[in-house]
Structure 1
Amino acid sequence: MLQNNPELKGKIDLLWNKFWSGGISNPLTAIEQITYLLFMKRLDELDLKHQSDSEWTGETYASKFEGSWIPPEYRARQDARDNDANWARKLDDEKRYAIDKRSLRWSEFKRMQAEEMLLHVQSKVFPFLKDLNGAESNFSHHMKNAVFIIPKPALLVEAVKTIDEIFEVMEKDSQEKGQAFQDIQGDVYEFLLSEIATAGKNGQFRTPRHIIKLMAELVQPQLGHKIADPACGSGGFLLGAYQYIVTQLAIKAGSTNLTPDEDGFVRTSVAAALTEKAQAILASSLWGYDIDSTMVRLGLMNLMMHGIDEPHIDYKDTLSKSYIEEAEYDIVMANPPFTGSIDKGDINENLQLATTKTELLFVENIYRLLKKGGTACVIVPQGVLFSTGGAFKILRQLLIERCDLKAVITLPSGVFKPYAGVSTAILLFTKVWASKEKVTKPATEYVWFYDMAADGYSLDDKRAKQEGFGDLQDIITKYHARNAETDTDRASKYFIVSRAELEAESYDLSMSRYKQDVPQEVHYDEPSAILDRLIRAEVGDLNGADLAKMESGIVRELLELKGMVG
């Protein structure tokens, strides 16, 4: 969407520049602060809309900005009744420190003078935001250590002004193009996340959203599936699964106003048409974990900006001994860290691979997290496919014998630029044998390979959108129509390989091991014609050539060589 709206993209770039020039140069810090402001703005707008709708429908709506708000530290607790003096002081504090919620609205505080606005947002609005879902909520728990660090009144004023302008363009775009406002808002937030230049350290790369959409189309999550990402970052895979499910439900309900995006995918985030029961099921389906507290907060807010009120994203190291879940999930979608290693003493005892390489441990852990019959779609570095180390071989054998390894899709090395040029692949597998079960028959019969050459974007650092969809839509079509009897052309970009052949090759999963190279006939000019071109490059037109040049060393030798070949 943003590629087709230079006005909106320009205003977002302007917002970034204001933060940079205002002293917040770390992109991760900047996006946290921008996110808080976007939340304040959207919270006010949604509340006003709900109030307006309730007046038309006659339904009761309790505004988030009615009454007073008491900061948690000044609330009287029931257990303080045992101490009369303390109870009385708390009640007095409640009255003294109560804040009129109306003053916490974006539409109210944006009219304040610069210094007053900064103090008001720092000391009242932001604490209210952190307490939004109640002290016991997952959101409030992870927001506990969040800080509002916009340092200058002028920067806050400029940021508020620019965000108002961004929302105006979004509203205009929604009305003129018929796209849901919530989807546009989600696109804007996704664009902001894409600007995190610090991504890529410790092997963590932001996964392009069209690759996530591709993977969702491959696994096809359904309402009621329990879905996880054990290294979720900003929550892109959870959002991808959510959007896929909501879109399929909208299509089944007869929605006809959904159009393909620039990558050929049909998606919406708007779940308003779902029943209350369906919304509750969907909200309880998504589970994410990450070891970076900042990314946990960004993941929570990313999903909340897309309409998921209380996401299940938590701070947790899913490879450590403290994480004991097993056989819990129907779907796992992930792009776990590629590089680095974990402290051997902290690795979960249930992980059997004798390695500290996280790219191997995460894949084994994902296998453990799946229920029997559950499916995973995971991005791995291509070294996992063919490296000869013992742990690499054992993992590949596990995927082939204990799982139905359905597909290996190699991705071009530019997919993760500008963060990294690493070559990657998608593994798609379904768990057949539980970790403690004895394998009586290997689960995989054959593996479908596809060599993606293009993803619809340039493969340089700019990653500019190209015409068409690359191989994205072809992969989806060919995968769901794969056939062991017909997908046999080893010179094609996709084909089937049997388990027996994979076993004979020590479970090597690199496509090049099995692909048949077709020699192409190349036609060359006659030697005399090539020599003529070389001579012309030195002296120009042979008929009017300068005699001095003709007698020069290199030209003389070329002429002698021409005379020898005829």
Structure 2
Amino acid sequence: MVTGAIKNKVDKIWTDIWAGGITNPLTVIEQLTYLMFIRSLDEKELATEDFENMAGEKMEHIFPASEAGQSMRWSRFKDKDSREIFLTMQQRVFPAIKKMKYGRLPDFDANGELVEIVDDPTRPDEGNTAFARYMDDAMFLIPTPQVLQKIITGLEDLYTHDIADLDMQGDLYEYMLGKLATAGRNGQFRTPLHIIDMMVELVQPTPDDFICDPACGTAGFLVSSAKYVRKHYGDDMTPEQWQHFAGPMFTGFDMDRTMLRISAMNLMLHSITNPDIDYKDSVSKQNSICSKYTICLANPPFKGTVDAESINDDLKAVTNTKKTELLFLALFLRMLKTGGRCACIVPDGVLFGSSKAHQSIRKELIENHQLRAVISMPSGVFKPYAGVSTAVLVFTKTGAGGTDKVWFYDMKADGLSLDDKRTEVKENDIPDIIARFHNFDAEAGRKRTEQSFFVPKAEIAANGYDLSINKYKETEYVPVEYPSTTEILADLHELEMEITKGLAELEEMV
């Protein structure tokens, strides 16, 4: 758990970077990510050396044995003069990690020139983390030796005194990611962690699942799924399941390489070293993945602009549109295996939009698959950086129908105030949502005046497949009894007499 003391230390590092002129939160996270990665490489090297000393067995090393190669290790440069640290980082460490291959860093020749590792077609590049694969276009932007030294000192203090295990590293990184409160150009914004966790609880991933977020951003859904699996199955997982957990289980796509680096680091800090994190426009023709995953979790972009020519034809066959929120729903259906389940966030317009594209995707979900739940969320969930009204859709891909009735829930509170401050409050419907979703039998008799209820498929179809909760929710009006006119007039006369008496007393005092 990230305590107040740890938050203060992180905030101090953040302030030092801002004072150095880097004010974009995404850039701050990116630069910190590089430094955390560099430190993790040295930790891994130290573990390798310890194993060699104990077992007497020679192993492959990350850092070259040369003086230049060893100088790139965090433990060797962290206590040096600030100018020497800066030059080492700028001239050696950063160029080397951009050319990392087979889990090894390249060496430097006598003239200080980088000697790239020769490609070996017989050897797959399995030694690289997903993060290392996206370092090609990374840039070292820390402006001065003094700022760099402050950051290194701050990180070293955190790792030495506050971070006890991988879970804590992940929590620390998530706290940093929580500072990303700006919306992207394509309608992207960070999904609140408690909403992510709720959606993961709804689909309940297992160690044998293949989980995909085709709009992964900082990989929040994948990390939350990993935490869920470790919490509920970690003590009983087989070696094969742990191997699956370390990589193949998790897939994420994004069109921002900075986000890919950040998401890969986030996963690495949660023991997922080789996820399939890829640069891909998920709804375009470059993505032809079909029937591969058992779970899809996502908060796809709502206002993204897509070139009509680049959209995959099989998505247009389901919903002929350029709206990304509709295309992603068709994408989930295509990428899921039969029996696969999905929980995704959609803007309210998807629920009641009257266009042919809107109606066709809703009809597809209800008639050809099993739409299980529509959870309407209050508009303040994404504040302070977006006030859009949204809902969570939960469905299962069947290809043969299965929607008998749809469960609706009207979320009124999520544990935080619905204003820009988003402070903690007692009111929270999320535990109730999770409990009721996994006990549908108890929901059967609930009336439409209550917070959750079922609506038959036939009624939804008759309403043009409208999924907005207000279409079906009933409001119970309680008659209010008012006093009679005679009583109201009597009260007014009494008030008038009191006013007259008060004025008389004031006149006597004057």
**SS, match of residue 350 in structure 1:** helix
Q: Pick from 1, 19, 23: which aligns with 2:21? A: 23
Letter in structure 2 aligned against 1:167? Y
Q: Are residues 1:420 and 2:389 paired? A: no
Mean CA deviation greater in 200-209 or 501-510: 200-209
Contact 1:289/1:314 (<8 A) preserved:
yes
How big is the shift at 1:293?
1.3
Mean CA deviation greater in 475-484 or 398-407: 475-484
Cα distance in structure 2, aligned partners of 1:289 and 1:529: 72
**SS, match of residue 314 in structure 1:** strand
Question: TM-score, normalising length from structure 2?
Answer: 0.86
State the match for 1:375 in structure 2.
341
Cα distance in structure 1, aligned partners of 2:490 and 2:366: 56
Closer/same/farther in 2, CA of residues 531 and 344 from structure 1, 3 Å limit: farther
Cα distance in structure 2, aligned partners of 1:62 and 1:386: 60
Contact 1:51/1:61 (<8 A) preserved:
no
Cα distance in structure 1, aligned partners of 2:445 and 2:489: 46
How big is the shift at 1:198?
2.8
Cα distance in structure 2, aligned partners of 1:58 and 1:170: 31
State the match for 2:241 in structure 1.
278
State the match for 1:161 in structure 2.
153
Letter in structure 2 aligned against 1:218? L
Closer/same/farther in 2, CA of residues 187 and 524 from structure 1, 3 Å limit: farther
Closer/same/farther in 2, CA of residues 485 and 546 from structure 1, 3 Å limit: same
Q: Pick from 371, 386, 407: which aligns with 1:448? A: 407
Cα distance in structure 1, aligned partners of 2:251 and 2:287: 14
Q: Are residues 1:407 and 2:373 paired? A: yes
**What's the RMSD between the two structures over aligned residues?**
2.7
State the match for 2:173 in structure 1.
189
Letter in structure 2 aligned against 1:459? L
Contact 1:15/1:162 (<8 A) preserved:
yes
Cα distance in structure 1, aligned partners of 2:159 and 2:386: 33
How big is the shift at 1:28?
1.1
How big is the shift at 1:340?
3.0
User: Please, which runs of 5 or more residues in structure 1 have no aligned partner?
Assistant: 69-97, 175-180, 254-273, 434-438, 550-566
Mean CA deviation greater in 123-132 or 292-301: 123-132
State the match for 2:433 in structure 1.
475
Letter in structure 1 aligned against 2:95? P
Cα distance in structure 2, aligned partners of 1:309 and 1:529: 79
Q: Are residues 1:220 and 2:204 paired? A: yes
Cα distance in structure 2, aligned partners of 1:408 and 1:529: 52
Q: Are residues 1:309 and 2:273 paired? A: yes
Cα distance in structure 2, aligned partners of 1:165 and 1:63: 29
State the match for 1:95 in structure 2.
none
Q: Pick from 102, 115, 119: which aligns with 2:87? A: 119
Cα distance in structure 2, aligned partners of 1:541 and 1:48: 86
How big is the shift at 1:309?
1.2
**SS, match of residue 399 in structure 1:** helix
State the match for 1:79 in structure 2.
none
Cα distance in structure 2, aligned partners of 1:472 and 1:198: 25
Cα distance in structure 2, aligned partners of 1:496 and 1:207: 27
Cα distance in structure 2, aligned partners of 1:496 and 1:246: 33
What CA deviation, in whole Å up to 9, does each residue of 1:46-104 have, x standing for no partner?
5445655776x758584746652xxxxxxxxxxxxxxxxxxxxxxxxxxxxx5544322
State the match for 2:293 in structure 1.
329
State the match for 1:89 in structure 2.
none
Instruction: Count the aligned residue pairs.
Output: 477
State the match for 2:263 in structure 1.
299
Letter in structure 2 aligned against 1:500? A
Question: TM-score, normalising length from structure 1?
Answer: 0.78
Letter in structure 2 aligned against 1:455? D
Letter in structure 2 aligned against 1:112? K
**SS, match of residue 182 in structure 2:** coil
Q: Are residues 1:497 and 2:489 paired? A: no
Closer/same/farther in 2, CA of residues 51 and 529 from structure 1, 3 Å limit: farther
Contact 1:408/1:426 (<8 A) preserved:
yes
Letter in structure 2 aligned against 1:141? R
How big is the shift at 1:199?
2.9
State the match for 1:102 in structure 2.
70
Contact 1:226/1:330 (<8 A) preserved:
yes
What CA deviation, in whole Å up to 9, does each residue of 1:241-274 have, x standing for no partner?
2221122212x53xxxxxxxxxxxxxxxxxxxx5
How big is the shift at 1:520?
3.2
Q: Pick from 338, 342, 355: which aligns with 1:389? A: 355
State the match for 1:42 in structure 2.
40
Q: Pick from 397, 406, 420: which aligns with 1:461? A: 420
**SS, match of residue 313 in structure 2:** coil
Closer/same/farther in 2, CA of residues 148 and 529 from structure 1, 3 Å limit: farther
What CA deviation, in whole Å up to 9, does each residue of 1:17-44 have, x standing for no partner?
1111101111111110011112223333
How big is the shift at 1:379?
0.5
User: Please, which runs of 5 or more residues in structure 2 have no aligned partner?
Assistant: 105-116, 118-124
**SS, match of residue 456 in structure 1:** strand
Contact 1:114/1:154 (<8 A) preserved:
yes
**SS, match of residue 89 in structure 2:** helix
Q: Pick from 195, 209, 226: which aligns with 1:242? A: 226
Contact 1:200/1:420 (<8 A) preserved:
no
**SS, match of residue 201 in structure 1:** coil
Closer/same/farther in 2, CA of residues 280 and 534 from structure 1, 3 Å limit: farther
Contact 1:409/1:451 (<8 A) preserved:
yes
Cα distance in structure 2, aligned partners of 1:534 and 1:292: 69
Cα distance in structure 2, aligned partners of 1:128 and 1:388: 55
Closer/same/farther in 2, CA of residues 65 and 347 from structure 1, 3 Å limit: closer
Q: Are residues 1:170 and 2:128 paired? A: no
What CA deviation, in whole Å up to 9, does each residue of 1:404-461 have, x standing for no partner?
001111111111111201111111111111xxxxx6xx42111111111111112222
Cα distance in structure 1, aligned partners of 2:159 and 2:346: 38
Cα distance in structure 2, aligned partners of 1:340 and 1:462: 27
Contact 2:186/2:305 (<8 A) preserved:
no
Contact 2:13/2:154 (<8 A) preserved:
yes
Cα distance in structure 2, aligned partners of 1:473 and 1:506: 32
How big is the shift at 1:523?
6.0
**SS, match of residue 244 in structure 2:** helix
**SS, match of residue 34 in structure 2:** helix
Contact 1:47/1:63 (<8 A) preserved:
no
Cα distance in structure 2, aligned partners of 1:503 and 1:404: 14
Letter in structure 1 aligned against 2:404? E
Closer/same/farther in 2, CA of residues 528 and 21 from structure 1, 3 Å limit: farther
State the match for 2:5 in structure 1.
7
